[in-house]
Structure 1
């Protein structure tokens, strides 16, 4: 443990005007103890005040404070606080996958199935007198995935904890939270991005979700892709309503995508040279730009800088992607190894007997799958 962490705890107590009695386990008033015949309470309280003041001002070594704490005090003061910091930082870290993949919760580690059904919806058929109505059958498309555990750990040596004057220990929850968010974004990215841009298992001719000619990102190409996505129909020819669209690009196209979306004026030149000025770009409504930094890492070719993707908003009738997390473990959790050493006649210490290290790990449980290729369109931007 470091001086910095204990100083922060003491400063927090001062800032919250917490009573020293409550900090040391007492929640009754001093007079209550006196009335119960405990005249030593005030003396112990004053000793505790003096002790806290000495630690705060540096008159006592930090090891005196460590020895004064029991085993149960460490998780109360630090483990729970670190775990809450982890969750808070995880919630605050920005990602993009929630905008184009449906978030789901699964009950256990067994494989879950998702079904896209069609066949019943269609226009009604006129039926003559005493004639029977036509019977319709339903078709199903099945998608399966399972969640898995993902972990990372670290160990802080006794020397590192003592020498932690830069507060590195306090930064660990933020680092672990960013790791969890990065892992989610990378996992979802690999569901639709491959080494050459759009993943070939998903974006193909049979799925009809590759924009003809793989055009570079432009207003005209984007308009063509949006039109194609909004004309989607189910297996019986019924229109699939797409109310909002997400444009996903890597860092190489982020500036160009935002320039197209945020343009305030567009000039169209007709066949005879006539110029039509359009206020607004005509495509910005219900369209949002998502810059996914992991496209640059997953796509290992130059296509990382030219590929772009359109997704129907996942809150519609069908999502293109689904990302699931285990029920009760939706957020990453921080765990620590129980200390296995104590000083003779004293309290346990937070480092191990054999290695002199304090060990912790973060665990996150998730999985996902591509669901419906109709709900996305892509181009690798090469023009070929």
Structure 2
């Protein structure tokens, strides 16, 4: 057999398609003749073998059997087939459906006030009697926004070697990271390691469903009823026009099945079956699948917990998420190059380290507001 050097030269020229096989191997005969241990007939046989591969008279796998991928690891593993997979699909944010979006002026603590008002039933006043003076309760909430950043740097060598554009989408990933950070921040306001946030969903706040039932049509109906029967400090009913159901991916299918059901059959105490057209709970109800719930509720109940929120556009919100004025959207930055070619022309990398740097900056914060505007269950049945 001929040496690996001769075959490597032959394969390189075949890949470039710069010569015919006959000329290729014919040109090597003089070299082979200078080596007394090599038989020129082997080169002629190799020429005939490869020519049959080219013309289709011999299948390609004969060539691969004769010279395996281990003989040319870079040739077969890298040169012939190289591609870059796309990034994972990002999640769609849901927090805007159940948390109020706000804007703050600076980094100082902002205050939010909520009043119960003096709304209530008028009282009958007898002749010459004075009316009763009403007082209102005032609630105060406060929070401050913080600055969050992330970035990356690329060396000159990495940028030159990036023939698959692997680094072209990194700025887009930074922008998506800001969106993900918003969703995660809001999720941590209503969810903790065991499901519904322990300091927000409590018995005294009356926003935990009795028995923590699993998500079913009857339990969802009970939760909607509980939420829509809320009253203010003066006992006046609070009108809630739209409700947001929030679940993690573990309950996404169950929630959709409940909402999209077209018929419901109720069995009475005597065994009588009542067929109800429609599911009775889908009106003004929207399902929100929050994919960050399992990232927060890591210890328990990530796949069973569920929440109901009053839509923040119609009533006082349960949660508020604020951004800094003038920086409501994430901002992408890149470090200005500090070097240019002699003779003119800037380059996108630094003088000292030959690196290009980019980062994203986002400023946000938030707080929990009204416990009346939400109910929850960890789905454990306990």
Give the TM-score taking structure 1 as reference length: 0.74
Give the Cα separation in 2 of the matches to 1:125 and 1:191.
41
User: 326, 339, 342: which is aligned to 1:341?
Assistant: 339
Superposed, 1:121-160 pairs within 5 Å as 121-160=119-158
Tell me the CA shift for residue 168 of structure 1. Answer: 3.0
1:224 paired to 2:237: no
Tell me the CA shift for residue 93 of structure 1. Answer: 6.8
Partner of 1:304: 302
Contact 2:231–2:238 (CA<8 Å) still a contact in 1? yes
> RMSD of the alignment, in Å?
1.3
Give the Cα separation in 2 of the matches to 1:116 and 1:369.
13
What secondary structure does 1:221 align onto? helix
Partner of 2:204: 206
Superposed, 1:21-32 pairs within 5 Å as none
Contact 2:245–2:309 (CA<8 Å) still a contact in 1? yes
What secondary structure does 2:159 align onto? helix
Structure 1: which 5+ runs fail to align? Answer: 1-91
What secondary structure does 1:224 align onto? helix
Structure 2: which 5+ runs fail to align? Answer: 1-89
Encode CA deviations 1:283-325: one digit per residue, 9 max, x unaligned.
Answer: 0000111100000100012300110000000112210000000
Give the Cα separation in 2 of the matches to 1:293 and 1:234.
33
Give the Cα separation in 2 of the matches to 1:274 and 1:229.
30
Contact 1:119–1:136 (CA<8 Å) still a contact in 2? no
Tell me the CA shift for residue 346 of structure 1. Answer: 2.2
Partner of 1:282: 280
1:115 paired to 2:113: yes
Encode CA deviations 1:171-214: one digit per residue, 9 max, x unaligned.
Answer: 12321221111100000000010000011010001101110000
Superposed, 1:1-150 pairs within 5 Å as 94-150=92-148
Superposed, 1:317-356 pairs within 5 Å as 317-356=315-354
Partner of 1:360: 358
Give the Cα separation in 2 of the matches to 1:168 and 1:333.
22
User: 239, 242, 257: which is aligned to 2:240?
Assistant: 242
Contact 2:101–2:322 (CA<8 Å) still a contact in 1? yes
Contact 2:259–2:279 (CA<8 Å) still a contact in 1? yes
Q: Number of residue pairs matched?
A: 293
Tell me the CA shift for residue 163 of structure 1. Answer: 2.2
Contact 2:175–2:332 (CA<8 Å) still a contact in 1? no
